[in-house]
Amino acid sequence: MKKIKKIGFIIFAILLLGGILSFSACFNGCSTDSESESGFFKYRIEDDGVRITDLTAKGYEQEILIVPTTINGKPVVKLLTLSVGFSGAYIRDTQLRKVYIQHNVRDSNYFFTHQKNLEKIIVLSYEDGDSSEDYLSCGKAYVRKEEVKPFLPPIYSANISFKYNYEFAPRNGYHWIDDLDYGSKIVTVPENPVRAGYSFLGWYKDTDCTEKWDFAKDTTVEAIVDLDGKPVYQETVLYAGWQVR
C-alpha cells in the first residue's frame, strides 16, 4: 500500500510540475507558432502581435540595433525571451553599443540587461507605467528633452531630433531622436517619415526647408561649456520637407 501511495505521489508531482511549466510558458505568451527569424531578430507570432525572443547570429554581431515596429506586417509588441524566470529573461552578451526603441513594447525591461558594451538606449516613445519605462532607470537611457524625469540613476536628453515639421504630427512632432558627441556626423538615419497626401523631400536645417542637411558633410553643433567648465546642452534639429502630391 505504501508503495502504491508513493507511486501515486510521484505521478501527482510530475503532473503538477508540468502544469506549472505550462502556466509559466503561457504567462509569457501562449503561441502555437515556432520561432522564426527576420534580419537581426528571432521572433514568434502571438495573439496580439510579434514577440521578439532573441537575436540571430548576425544580430549578435551588431554594434547598433534598431528594434523594429513591425515584422512581416505585424506589430512588434514584446521583447521577451522564451526562458522561464527572470534570471533567464535577458539575451546573452552582445557587441551592442547602442539600441533604438521607437515605440512602446511590453515586457522589455530585462531583454538587454547585462550588456557590458551597451552605452546608450534611445527611447523615442514610452508610456508611464509601461515596462519599457524601466529602461529609463538603467543610467543609459536617452529620451526627448521634454520627457526627462527625476530618475535615479538619471535619464538624459537626446541631443538630436528629427521632426515631422507640420501641425498635429504624431509623438508631439518627433519622428526620431538620437544622441551623439557634439560636432559629429549623423550616421544612423531613420526611415523616411510618412504623411498622408504628401511626398517626403528630405531633411532640412530649418523649418522653411531652405537648406538641406548633407549627411556626408554636415555635423551636429559644436560643444560649448559654461563659466564653470561644464558642458552646455545643445540640440541639433532636422526638419522634414514635404510636397503635396
d(CA 174, CA 165): 9
| Least confident window among 55-64, 146-155, 164-173, 206-215 | 146-155
pLDDT band at residue 243 under the 50/70/90 scheme: very high
Q: Provide the pLDDT for residue 34.
A: 81
Q: Provide the pLDDT for residue 158.
A: 94
More confident call, 154 vs 58: 58
Task: Quote the percentage of the chain above a pLDDT of 70.
Answer: 75
More confident call, 26 vs 241: 241
pLDDT averaged over the chain? Answer: 82
List, in sequence order, every beta strand (DSSP E) within 18-108.
36-38, 41-46, 49-55, 64-67, 70-71, 74-79, 98-101
**Per-residue model confidence as pLDDT tens digits over 130-173:** 544 556 656 688 888 777 766 656 788 999 999 999 999 998 89
Sheet holding 174-178: strands in order across? Answer: 174-178, 160-163, 236-244, 198-204
Instruction: Give Cβ neighbours of residue 187 (< 8 Å, ≥ 6 apart).
Output: 180
Cα three-residue angle 126-104-147, rounded to 5 degrees: 10
Classify residue 175 as left (phi > 0), alpha (psi -120 to 50) or beta. Answer: alpha
H or E element: which one contains 236? strand 236-244
Average pLDDT of the segment spanning 176-184: 95
Q: Provide the pLDDT for residue 11.
A: 56
pLDDT band at residue 200 under the 50/70/90 scheme: very high
Distance in Å from the first CA to the final CA of the chain: 85
Classify residue 13 as left (phi > 0), alpha (psi -120 to 50) or beta. Answer: alpha
pLDDT above 70: residue 86: no
DSSP 231: B
Provide the CA 168 distance to its chain's centre, in angstroms.
24
For the chain, the domains span 33-155, 159-245
Per the structure block, which three cell numbers stand in for 40?
537581426
d(CA 104, CA 69): 9
pLDDT above 80: residue 23: no
Closest listed residue to residue 213, CA positions, set 221, 223, 203:
203
Q: Provide the pLDDT for residue 90.
A: 79
Q: Does domain 33-155 fall into CATH 1.10.10?
A: no
Average pLDDT of the segment spanning 173-186: 95
More confident call, 217 vs 142: 217
pLDDT band at residue 10 under the 50/70/90 scheme: low
| Protein fold of 159-245 | Immunoglobulin-like (2.60.40)
